[in-house]
Structure formats: C-alpha cells, structure tokens
Amino acid sequence: MSLLLAHLSDAHIGPLPRPQKRELLGKRLTGYLNWTRGRHLVHDMEALRRLVADLKAQRPGHVAMTGDILNIGLKAEFPPARSWLETLGSPDDVSFVPGNHDAYVRSALPYLASTFAPWTTSDSGIAGFPYLRVREGVALIGLSSAIPTAPLFASGRAGAAQLAAAADLLREAGRDGLIRVVLIHHPPDPGGAKFGRGLSDAAAFAALIRRLGAELVLHGHNHKLSVRHLPGPARQVPVIGVASASAVHGLAEHRASYNLFKIEGSPKSPQIRGQVRGLLPGGREVGELRPIAL
C-alpha cells in the first residue's frame, strides 16, 4: 500500500459577502468586525491560489481538508466555499471535516450539511460523521468537532455518540489491516489549544486512541504547524497540525502551507514520511519548507 496524502486547513475564503443587518445579530457581529478590522488582510486569496496550484502539482492520491473554509457562516458564503473545495478535486479525491467557522452559528448548520455532503460521505454511501473512506490501503476516518459557540469562544466537541461510532470504525479498519488516519478540525489532544478554543472532550478522544490506536491524526484550527503525540496501545500516535492555507503574516510556522505525507507499510509497521510545502521565505513563491519529524 502507498498513498500520497495532502493535508490543508483553515482557508478562510474571502472576500466576505456583504451581510444583511439581520444576519449580524449575536456572534456574527463580533466575527464581522474582526474580519473588517484586519483579519481580511491576514488571509490572502492569491497566496491560497498559489498553494493549491503547488499542491495539485505534487499529484497527491488524496487530499484532506480539515475545516474553516468559511468565516462567519453566512448563507452567501457557502456557494463560493463549495466552488473552492471543488478546485481541490472531486469528492472521491477529497475528504472534508468542518471547523468552528463553518458552523459559526446554529442557522448555518443545514447549509453546512447539504453543501459539503459529497465530501463527507462514507464509501458505504452514507453522509455524515464519523465517516470511513478507504484509499490505497489507508482508512480515512473523519470526525466533526464543529459546533456553534458563544461569542469569543471557538471550542469544539465530538460528542459521546460520535466517538463511540468512531471506535467501531477504528476497530473495523484495524481488523482489515488498514493504516488509520483520523481527520478532525480541533486539536484533539488535551492542552492542544488555548482556553475557549480546544476540544471539550479531548480527554475522551485521547482515551479512544489509547485503547484502539491509530497511525496518524491530522487537524487544523491553531493556524500553525505542530507535532505532538497521543499514547496508543502499541506506540505513540503522531498528532499533526497544519498552518492556515491562506495566512501571509506571522512566524514561519504560521504562514500559508500544507503538509504532504507519504504513507506506506502496514498498521503493525507503518512508514509515514511528512514534509511541509508553503510560502518560501522572503517572497510569495511556494516550495518545500522542511521535513516533518513524526
């Protein structure tokens, strides 16, 4: 088995459509003000275009997009978000899990489910979370941590029912001799994000991995490259975060990039090599930045 898997996240597509006054009640008002007062300068669509072009030039066998395509969950944001996701590839070649900005407010949830259903459908034909997709001997298990939250909070939750279903998928994939890659937006390890921004049931997720294992966990949300580990039944499980795909400011590990993984071997002896590709220092060109030490 051999799969070249590209991972990107937190595209935050702009420009933001002009909202109607009634759409700016509650949390959306704070998000809209944040966007207009400077966030729109952080996320550069030309940099994102260059990044996606470079990603496609690597000819990955599959692409994982771990959320936050949107900004404040406006109805008018969903069509361009879907159009952008289509530029990454067909639903067969791209897997998506949503982020907190995609589920910014409760009224966005129906549009979230219908817009991205083709990219969140299991091989069995059932849409929703958790899903299981198998590509070249690799099981992609997608979980949603996206929930509406109060203003100034960006936390997530998987929920007991979803974690129980994910346990079944991890067992099934393990019995089938597949390398298991878990996709989720929020950092799923305890302490993986600041207060008010983390996964509220990270301890339950960690217990799941400790009991059943996985070979790789990928997430976004923190807008930076990170490498951490969770204990598994046989070995430490790498938990890899990726920078925002469109950010053009900040430290090197925060600037627009994506991660590329060559996945080979077997669950008992996985061989996973990673590298970061993104904006090169001092310019706007995209190229190889550094290896990822798993």
Residue 38 is predicted with a pLDDT of: 86
Digit-coded pLDDT (tens) for 38-94: 888 899 999 999 999 999 999 999 999 999 999 999 999 999 999 999 999 999 999
* Mean pLDDT, range 226-232, rounded to an integer: 97
Q: What is the mean pLDDT of residues 174-195?
A: 96
Tell me what the pLDDT averaged over the chain comes to. 96
pTM, rounded to two decimals: 0.97
Output the pLDDT for position 202.
98
pLDDT of 230: 98
pLDDT at 158 over 90: yes
pLDDT at residue 1 is higher than 80: no
Question: What would the pLDDT profile of 188-225 be if each residue is shown by its tens digit?
Answer: 999 999 999 999 999 999 999 999 999 999 999 999 99
Q: What is the DSSP string of the chain?
A: -EEEEEEEB----SSPPPPPGGGGSTHHHHHHHHIIIIIHHHB-HHHHHHHHHHHHHT--SEEEE-S---SS--GGGHHHHHHHHHHH--TTTEEE---TTTTSSGGGHHHHHHHSGGGSB-TTS-BSSSEEEEETTEEEEE--------TT---B---HHHHHHHHHHHHHHHHTTPEEEEE-SS--STTSS-TTTSBTTHHHHHHHHHHH--SEEEE-SSSS-EEEEEE-SSSEEEEEE--BSSB-SSSGGGSSEEEEEEEEE-SSSEEEEEEEEEEPTTSS-EEEEEEE--
Residues 101-150: tens digit of each pLDDT = 999 999 999 999 999 999 999 999 999 999 999 999 999 999 999 999 99
* List of domains in the chain: 2-292 (3.60.21.10)
What integer pLDDT is reported at residue 102 of this predicted model?
A: 98
pLDDT at residue 28 is higher than 90: yes
| pLDDT score of 286 more than 80 | yes
